[in-house]
């Protein structure tokens, strides 16, 4: 956080004073939002958040794929049953002809 009156830059998380952009390195300080410790922590939390988001998305995708595979298997079974059904009819017809 930046105090526009005094120029004091503090960590947005723990409030540690990082410096004064009026007397210190302006371009460096206006880009800093957190102290080094909080920066690491924030980055870790952000990463964890995205990891969980990805895990959730993967879970959804896996569920969808499993359902697709199940449907394909069902379709396969049905087609196989149909084909075997026809085969049985054909063989019984052949038997009739004998
Ligand atoms: Zn901090």
Distance 38 CA to ligand 1 centre (A): 4
Task: Give pTM, 2 decimals.
Answer: 0.51
pLDDT of residue 83: 84
Distance 25 CA to ligand 1 centre (A): 19
pLDDT of residue 68: 97
pLDDT tens for 25-34 read 888 888 889 9
Q: Which runs of E-coded beta strand occur in 1-98?
A: 8-10, 17-20
For the CA atoms of 78, 84, 85, 86, what is the dihedral angle to 10 degrees? 120
The whole-angstrom distance between residue 28's C-alpha and the CA centroid of its chain comes to: 33
How confident is residue 72, by pLDDT bands cut at 50, 70 and 90? Answer: very high
Distance 51 CA to ligand 1 centre (A): 23
In terms of Cα–Cα distance, which of 16, 18, 20 is closest to 5? 20
Distance 16 CA to ligand 1 centre (A): 6
pLDDT tens for 13-68 read 999 999 998 887 888 888 889 999 999 999 999 999 999 999 999 999 999 999 99
Distance 41 CA to ligand 1 centre (A): 9
Distance 36 CA to ligand 1 centre (A): 7
Domain limits of the chain?
A: 1-34, 36-84
């Amino acid at each position: 956080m930046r105090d526009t009156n005094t120029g004091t830059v503090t960590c947005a998380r723990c409030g540690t004073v990082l410096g004064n952009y009026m007397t210190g390195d302006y371009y460096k300080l206006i880009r800093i939002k957190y102290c080094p410790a909080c920066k690491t922590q924030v980055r870790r939390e952000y990463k964890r958040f995205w990891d969980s988001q990805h895990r959730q998305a993967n879970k959804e995708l896996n569920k969808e794929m499993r359902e697709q595979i199940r449907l394909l298997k069902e379709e396969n079974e049905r087609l196989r049953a149909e084909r075997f059904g026809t085969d049985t009819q054909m063989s019984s017809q052949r038997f009739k002809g004998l």
